[in-house]
Structure 1
């Protein structure tokens, strides 16, 4: 989040968007993996 804010403050929204998208995709991937792991354990 700090890198996103730094890019936004220094260069504007156009340069902050790619980093924000990558950060959101990483977070969604982690949450999805946790979701899969908890579902596999509860199914047993």
Structure 2
């Protein structure tokens, strides 16, 4: 997931989740990037 987002960022695009349980997440912001990293780590741990 983090590689995918890195590829998007290198191409000038960004990932934006519009509905994240009452909020939104934009990987272009530091907070959004942190949330994505934590979610990816939890998904990896579960897998």
TM range (shorter): 0.3 to 0.5
Q: Larger helix proportion, structure 1 or 2? A: 1
Larger Rg: 1
Q: Larger strand proportion, structure 1 or 2? A: 2
- TM-score normalised by L of structure 2: 0.44
